Structure 1
Amino acid sequence: MILFNMFKPKIIAIVPAAGIGSRMQSNLPKQYIKIQNCTILEHTLKTLLLHPNIHRIVVSLNKKDVYFNKLAISSNLRIISVIGGTERMHSVLSGLVFETDADWVIIHDAVRPCLSYKDLENLISIIKKNPVGAILARPVSDTIKYSNCTQKKILYTLNRQNLWHALTPQLFRINLLKFCLKKIIHDKINITDEAAALEYFGYKPLLVLGSSKNIKITWPEDLILAKFYLKNLNIHQ
C-alpha cells in the first residue's frame, strides 16, 4: 500500500523519449516496444504516476514521433509532451522551460521500466537532507578495463573501489539544473547524464542505492530480463 507523504515538495518529472535506439535492431523506437501488452514507455510512466508528490510528467519526444499520442496514457492530465532536442541534455532542457513553479525535477530514462516505487520514494526522501539533489546508483561489481577504443586493447584496469554505476531517476533543484544545463550547452561540454552538469560546476549530488533490477533496455536480450522483472514488480508493487 502506498502511503501519502505529508512532506509535499513540488516535483515534476522529465522523461527524455526522443531517442531511436538503433542497437535494439527494431523497426520501432525501443520505448514503444511492448512488454506484457504495454509499451516500455507506458511502464515507465505508470511508476512515476504512482507518486503523489510528482504533480506533472513532461515527456520529451522526437519531432518525428507518431506513436506517443496513440497511447491511452498520453491523455492523462498529469502528463504533457514537448519536442526534444538532438541530444539528451537538449531534450531535458526542453522539458524544463515549460515548468516555472516546481521546486524539484526528476529525470528518468524512458527505457528504465523496472523502477520500483520503493527506490523512487527513497530518492525523493533525500530532499529533506540535501539542497542539491541525488541520483540512484549501484556500486560497480565488475572489473572495469580502460581501452583504446580504436584498437580495443586493454590499457589498464580501473580501481572499482570508489566507482558507482549511475542509474535514473536523478533528482535536482529545478532552477539549479536549468542553470547548469544552459551553461553546459553554451560551453559545448559533452555530458551523458544530468548529474554531470552539476558536477561540472562543483556541486556534489548524493548517491542513493538503487536496485540492480532497474535496468536500462538497450539490447534485444534486455527485453527478456525486463519482462521477468516487471512480472515480479507488478505482483509486489
Structure 2
Amino acid sequence: MTSSQNLTPRPEDGFWAVVPAAGSGKRMGADKPKQYLTLAGIPLIAQTLNNILSWPRLAGIVVAIAADDTEFQKLPQASNPKVHTVAGGKERADSVLAALDYLSGVAAPDTTVLVHDAARPLVKPADIEKLLAAAPTALLAQPASDTIKQATSAEGQARVKHTLPREEIWLAQTPQKAPLELLRKCLRRGMSKSPALITDEASALELAGYQPELVAACRSNFKVTHPADLILAEALLQYQSEQIQSGTET
C-alpha cells in the first residue's frame, strides 16, 4: 500500500501535507466514497490534491486511503512524485497516525505538518501562507457569524437550552498545523486515553495542554459533506476559473 518516491529528506524541504481519505462519506448518500464523487469533471479528492500541489514550499503529501481502495491509483495525481500513500484506519485519527508514522521515517521530528480534509478543495493559497506564518500549532477556522444556540432534548424535540456568546465561537476547518513528532505523540496519547474526544488534530493537542492558534479562513474553505455542497463547490470553482482568466482573481 505504501508508495515511496524520492523520500530522502533535505534541509531545504518545506512542510508536508497529510490527507486522511479512508472514510466512506455516508452523509452524501452516494454509491461510492465521497472523495471519488465528481466535482467539475474530476474526482473531489483530485481537486483537493491539485490545490495542495500548488502550495509553495510543499515537500510532499501523504494520503491515507482505505486498505481495499482500488480507485486512488487510477488518478493522475497518484503518480506525482510528491504524492505518497499509506493504508488508513477506521477513524480519522487512525488514518492521520498512519501517515505520521510513515513520515517519521523520512522527515525530521520538528517538520511542519498540515493535515487537510480530502473534501475541502477550495482553500485559498493566501490562507495557507497565513497558517504557515502562525504559531507552531494552529488551524484554519471560521469565526461564527450566526447566533449560536446550545440545544437540549425534550420529548424527542431539540429545544434551545441557551445562547452561546458568538464572539467566542469558531468553526474548526483544515489544514491544521503542528510539528510532526508533537502531533504524533498527542494523537497517540489522546486515542489511548480519550478517543471519543479526538475529533480533529487540534483536539488532541488541546488534551495535551496546547492552545493552537486560530487563523481566520476564507468562507470558500467549506467541507463538502452533503449533496448540495457539490453544487456550491462547482459554482465557486467556475467563478475562480473566470477570475483567473480575466486577471481579477483575489
State TM-score, norm by structure 1: 0.90
Aligned partner of 1:54 among 50, 53, 58: 58
Of structures 1 and 2, the larger Rg is shown by 2
Distance of 1:137 and 1:79 partners within structure 2: 26
Aligned partner of 1:41 among 42, 45, 48: 45
Distance of 1:148 and 1:68 partners within structure 2: 42
Distance of 1:96 and 1:107 partners within structure 2: 10
Give the match for residue 194 of structure 1: 201
Shift of residue 35, structure 1, vs aligned partner? 1.4
Give the match for residue 166 of structure 1: 172
Distance of 1:35 and 1:15 partners within structure 2: 18
Aligned partner of 1:233 among 233, 237, 240: 240
Letter in 2 for 1:50: S
Aligned partner of 1:90 among 94, 111, 114: 94
Give the match for residue 9 of structure 2: none
Give the match for residue 159 of structure 2: 153
Letter in 2 for 1:51: W
Letter in 1 for 2:215: V
Shift of residue 9, structure 1, vs aligned partner? 6.2
State TM-score, norm by structure 2: 0.86
**C-alpha RMSD of matched pairs (Å):** 1.7
SS at match of 1:112: coil
8 Å contact kept, 2:18–2:113: yes
Shift of residue 47, structure 1, vs aligned partner? 1.2
Give the match for residue 214 of structure 1: 221
8 Å contact kept, 2:35–2:45: yes
Distance of 1:94 and 1:138 partners within structure 2: 28
Distance of 1:138 and 1:69 partners within structure 2: 33
Q: Determine if the alignment matches structure 1 residue 17 to structure 2 residue 25.
A: no
Give the match for residue 125 of structure 2: 117
Distance of 1:52 and 1:142 partners within structure 2: 34
Distance of 2:77 and 2:205 partners within structure 1: 32
Deviations 1:158-206 (A, max 9, x none): 1112111111111111111011001011113322110111111111111
Number of paired residues? 227
Distance of 2:85 and 2:100 partners within structure 1: 12
SS at match of 1:86: coil
Distance of 1:123 and 1:228 partners within structure 2: 26
Shift of residue 121, structure 1, vs aligned partner? 1.6
8 Å contact kept, 1:9–1:104: no
Where does the alignment leave 5 or more consecutive residues of structure 1 unmatched? 1-7
Distance of 1:88 and 1:45 partners within structure 2: 18
SS at match of 1:99: helix
